[in-house]
Structure 1
Amino acid sequence: MSLALALLKLYLRTVQKPWLARVKDPAAARRAFERSARLAAMPAGALLLPRRVGNVPGLWVSCRPRGAGLILYFHGGAYVMGSSATHKAMVARLCALTGAEAFIPDYRLAPEHPFPAAFEDACSVWQDLLARGYRADGIVIGGDSAGGGLMLALLAATCRQGGPHPAAAFAFSPWTDLTLSGASLRENARADPLLPAGRVAEARDYYLAGADPADPRASPLLADFPGAPPVFLQAGMTEILRDDTTRMADRLAAQGVDVVTDLWPDSPHVLPIFQGWVPEADEALARAAAFIRQRLPAARASGS
């Protein structure tokens, strides 16, 4: 473990995790997340443009050289916080590493907009990209934490509809089981340096607002993925959401999906978001970028 990662984990454990355990106001959590994102390392030459796709606002991200397809990326934040602004630096770095452009939707957040609002926004963005002329096989979909679960729910929806499917999918520490049945929620409650296990059910209830947590649109761990493209899943072994990744990988593999599982022995939730500051985060993001590069065509159909 690098010194940078050790110091990061110490900070998260002593400052961020206690704060997350006690903050009550989703608006306050959103503001704090936005402030912390200003410290993220942005690659030189990144271009960020506000854009609406499927009537959903967001950021269009690109770095030179361009022309190697599109990444549709769903940010994390437990469905109650996070935005394109909080994730733009990591996604811009991913664009620089792959040559792809990216769109980060600002899907509607709970509790103001409970389930299935975020899922509906994800589907709207996907359908509008196709309507604009982007080929499905020129798009890779991705996300982290709640956004990773949202991405997998969208992938399952494309499978239910018989396609068209994206070229591939990837997720960092995805939240895939809103029934909260994963053993790691208990086993890693102390070991996780960032997420307080005692707040997970509260965040889930903000989002679901009484809806069934076993609905596969909320818990893609319970969805089916016939004909799905290759999927890359990455997580830390000490995370409370470890089992949301490992069981998701097992389910996909059991359905014949080509799955790459990248497990890190001792890393915080969504390790790649710390790119530019921690060498392990840079390596984690580079592994995802290598997966994406192998599966995106060199060019996409013309779109706007």
Structure 2
Amino acid sequence: MSRRLTALNTLLRLIARPRLSHVRDPQEARRDFARTARLVFRAPPYSLWLPGAVRGEAEGAPEIPGLWISCGPVRQRHVILYLHGGGYTTGSPDTHRGMLARLSKLSGLRVFAPDYRLAPEHPAPAALEDAQAAWDGLVALGYEPERIVLAGDSAGGGLAFALLARLCAAGTPPALAIGLAPWVDLAGGGASLAENAGRDALLPAARFEDLVRLYAGTLPRNDVRLSPLYADFPDPPPVLLQVSESEILRDDTLRLEARLRDFGAEVTLQTWPDAPHVFQIFDGWVPEARDALEGAAAEIRRRLAEIAPADQG
């Protein structure tokens, strides 16, 4: 573990985790996250962020706003659909745009990050319906499913795998699915929720029930729209999972890996011994974040090369 990561863990335990333990107003939490993103999260030079929207072809399909994010040359016929984290109550494409610009630069792909609806104003399954609509909108723009990478972190990772279950059932899976510490079990069945309660540098385990209550609405907590750990994934695409061994959501990732393998998925699991939840967002501050993003980008390039080795467009 690098000295920078050790320092980051200390700062998060002293400042961020106590704040997350006590803030109760979602609007205040959103302002905190947005402020942190502006002041702390870094983006590579020449990053480009363009507001936009996508809409599916079906009659009455909703328009989903978001950000088109790129850095450097990108392949025109391929795209990353990225669903941001934030416990389903905070976060936005803006809070993640620095990390996603780096992922674009490393992978050579443009990213579309939808601004999906948040709880408690819009409880489940609103966010998942927006994720589905964003996928449909990209397909309507001409992106073939096998040229789309589906990705997300934390709650956005949960959305990504809930959407993946739908896409697998429909026979239209993406080229690759990526989860950065995805939150895939709102029923709270992972042992790490208690085992790592004292080790997690960022997430306070005591707030788990509060977030679930805000997002779940009237749905049972093991409903696959909330908890894709319990979903079926027929004929899944390759999957990349990244997680820290010290975070409370560790077992969500480990159990998801096993679940996907049961359905025949080729799963690559990358772990770090002591890093904060979604540490990748601290790219530019800690070397482990860049290592993780480079690993994700390498997997993207490898998979797309296998699908269309001669296609550079």
Band of TM-score, shorter chain: over 0.9
The Cα of 1:210 is off from its aligned counterpart by: 2.6
Asked whether the 8 Å contact 1:148–1:174 carries over to 2, the reply is yes
CA distance in 2, matches of 1:132, 1:281: 32
Q: Which amino acid aligns with 1:178?
A: L
Q: How does 1:192-231 map to 2 (within 5 A)?
A: 192-231=200-239
Which residue of 2 is the match for residue 121 of structure 1?
Answer: 130
Are 2:271 and 1:263 equivalent residues in the alignment?
A: yes
Q: Which runs of 5+ in 2 are unaligned?
A: 56-62
CA distance in 1, matches of 2:180, 2:268: 12
Which residue of 1 is the match for residue 15 of structure 2?
Answer: 15
Which residue of 1 is the match for residue 30 of structure 2?
Answer: 30
Asked whether the 8 Å contact 1:138–1:299 carries over to 2, the reply is no
CA distance in 2, matches of 1:247, 1:207: 22
Q: Which amino acid aligns with 1:249?
A: E
Asked whether the 8 Å contact 1:189–1:197 carries over to 2, the reply is yes
Question: Of 247, 264, 267, which residue of structure 2 is paired with 1:239?
Answer: 247
Q: How does 1:17-96 map to 2 (within 5 A)?
A: 17-38=17-38, 39-54=40-55, 55-67=63-75, 69-96=78-105
Q: Which amino acid aligns with 1:275?
A: D
CA distance in 1, matches of 2:267, 2:11: 33
TM-score (normalised: structure 1): 0.96
Question: Of 105, 111, 132, which residue of structure 1 is paired with 2:114?
Answer: 105
Q: Provide runs of 4+ in structure 1 moved above 4 Å.
A: 297-300
The Cα of 1:299 is off from its aligned counterpart by: 4.5
CA distance in 2, matches of 1:141, 1:168: 6
The Cα of 1:102 is off from its aligned counterpart by: 0.5
Q: How does 1:283-294 map to 2 (within 5 A)?
A: 283-294=291-302
Are 2:176 and 1:175 equivalent residues in the alignment?
A: no
Which residue of 1 is the match for residue 262 of structure 2?
Answer: 254
Give CA-to-partner distance per residue, 1:223-267, whole Å, 9 cap, x none. Answer: 011111000000000100000000000000111000001111111
Instruction: Give the 3-state SS of the residue equivalent to 2:4 in structure 1.
Output: helix
Instruction: Give the 3-state SS of the residue equivalent to 1:86 in structure 2.
Output: coil
CA distance in 1, matches of 2:235, 2:287: 36
Q: How many residues align?
A: 299
CA distance in 1, matches of 2:278, 2:211: 17
CA RMSD of aligned residues (A): 1.0
* Percent identity of equivalent pairs: 52
Which residue of 2 is the match for residue 158 of structure 1?
Answer: 167
